[in-house]
Amino acid sequence: MTPIGLYRPGSSLIHRLPAGVKLLALVLAGIGSVFLRTPPQVTAWLVAVVVLYLVAELSPAVLWQQVRPLWWVLVLLGVFHVVVSGWARAYEVIGALVGLVLLAALVTLSTRTTALIDVVVRVCRPLAFVGVDPERIGLLLSLGIRSVPVVVGLAAEVREAQLARGLGLSPRAFAVPLVVRSLRHADALGEALAARGVDD
Amino acid sequence: MSLIVFDGVSHRYGDRLVVRDVSVRLDERRIGVIGANGSGKSTFVRMLNGLVVPTSGSVRVAGLDPDKQARQVRHLVGFCFTDPDAQIVMPTVVEDIAFGLRRRGLDKEEISERVERALASYGLAEHRDHPAHLLSGGQKQLLAIASVLVTNPDLLVMDEPTTLLDLANARRITELVAGLPQQVVLVTHHLDLLAGYDRVLVFDRGRIVCDAPPDEAVAHYQALMLR
């Protein structure tokens, strides 16, 4: 599986910034990206993002890994905007989007999941007054992150089994066992969480 | 006092009685549990920390009821499952080992110290920041065991921990378990892992049909399978 956004240990300035600061900066950058109106602004925005990757001591290959899975979305979006509103607008939209994706990836590449979850738990703490358990929200997030590679692995196994049995590209033959195995995994995970005292 | 006491325990899944009137006291340090698939052995060990509740009878672990005193019992009983992927909760090795400790409200220094000790003890130090899903099967099982043992349980229950592993990794896990100070209850189909165990229970159709030292119990089980 492509290592999108997986934490890369390091001691750069970006790594040492508190997770809360990085998340806040990401939110502000998201808001700011709405106001990118001209190609030079977008170019400056992309250059700034690349500089941040350099400061975080992350290689261009890592940067490329974050964008590569999005290529088909970018192509579709680019074609649409070229046809509808011209090259300049296509560049602005795609540039803003790529910059944001790279920034979001930079946060997860330079921050441990537990640190990010701690921030989310802190932010959600006021919700405890209305009966929401912030720790549960944090756990939910970490399980979501953890489950992505597991489900991708299950999908690959199901696909292999499907091909081995000569079932071709049947969506049903792919989806049914994948859903069943994912549910089984969720069941086993629930049992393991209870065994580790999460259900106390 | 026996650490583990089953008294007239039965468990039913729907119409099927999977554990039938089991009474046993387990004091020994190394206890093996063997039996055919569906014989009730996994259900039996799941009752040790309240994952399965008896339909009738009672289970006590260190005098505690795993159903009604689940929190205390789960602090005493560590549980390792067959598939480590199902019990690794956090994305990276170091975070998963710390997970159980964080939930116990320990301070950061103590968590860090215990995690570092566990990483070194179980040969995971070089993988500390690696994504858990990229580890090999043996390393994942080691991580699962380390994540349980870092909480210092009194009893370690392992439900077929070597089933998905090759021989080298199975031996590695066996050697690790052999050196543990804890009481261990091991469910396994790898009969050679039971050498040196104090006591082995053989399950058949929900009942303990043999309760003996390893050689005798394994011979009984093999005769049962060839019948």
Residue B56, pLDDT score = 95
Let me know: does B162 contact B174? Beta carbons within 8 Å. Answer: yes
Q: What is the pLDDT of residue A2?
A: 43
State whether residue A197 sits within 8 Å of chain B by CB: yes
Residue B163: both structure tokens together? 């089933």
* Chain A residues with CB-CB distance to B141 below 8 A: none
CA nearest to A199 within chain B:
B71
Q: How far is B28 from chain A (nearest CA, A)?
A: 22
Q: CB contact, 8 Å: A191 with chain B?
A: yes
- Cβ distance B74 to A185 less than 8 Å, yes or no, reads no
Contacts of A149 in chain B (CB under 8 A): 131, 133
CB nearest A113 (choices: B79, B86, B92) = B92
- Those residues of chain A that have pLDDT short of 70 are 1-5, 199-200
Beta-carbon contacts of residue B88 (< 8 Å; ≥ 6 apart): A146, B96, B132, B133, B140, B143, B144, B147
Contact flag B89-A192 (C-beta cutoff 8 Å): yes
R_g over Cα of chain B:
18
Cβ <8 Å between A196 and B99: yes
CB contact under 8 A, A114 and B83: no
Q: Residue A5: what pLDDT? A: 61
**For B8-50, what is each residue's pLDDT tens digit?**
999 999 889 999 999 999 999 999 999 999 999 999 999 999 9
Chain B closest-CA separation from residue A41 CA (Å): 36
Of the candidates B61, B8, B12, B57, the one whose C-alpha atom is nearest the C-alpha of residue B185 is B61
pLDDT score at B1: 47
Contact between chains at B87 and A195 (C-beta distance less than 8 A):
yes
Task: Check residue A199 and give its pLDDT.
Answer: 65
pLDDT score for A70 = 85
DSSP-derived 3-state class of residue B170: helix
pLDDT of residue B2: 53
Angstrom CA distances, B9 to B17, B40, B178, stand at 11, 12, 29
DSSP chain A: ---TT------SHHHHS-HHHHHHHHHHHHHHHTT--SHHHHHHHHHHHHHHHHHTT--HHHHHHHHGGGHHHHHHHHHHHHHHH-HHHHHHHHHHHHHHHHHHHHHHHHS-HHHHHHHHHHHHGGGGGGT--HHHHHHHHHHHHHHHHHHHHHHHHHHHHHHHTT-TT-HHHHHHHHHHHHHHHHHHHHHHHHHTTTT-
- Cα of A89 to nearest chain B Cα, Å: 38
- Nearest-CA distance B221 → chain A (Å): 28
Per-residue pLDDT of chain B (227 residues; tens, 9 = 90+): 458 999 999 999 988 999 999 999 999 999 999 999 999 999 999 999 999 999 999 999 999 999 999 889 998 999 999 888 888 888 889 989 998 888 787 888 999 999 999 999 888 999 988 888 888 888 898 899 999 999 999 999 999 988 888 888 888 888 888 889 999 999 999 898 898 899 999 999 999 999 999 999 999 999 998 87
Distance CA A82, CA A93 (A): 11
CA distance A124 to chain B (A): 17
Beta carbons of A195 and B132 less than 8 Å apart: no
Q: Do B70 and A200 touch (CB under 8 A)?
A: yes
Per-residue pLDDT tens over the stretch B42-57: 999 999 999 999 999 9
Locate the chain B residue with the closest alpha carbon to A197: B74
- Which residue of A lies nearest to B81 if distances are taken between CA atoms? A192
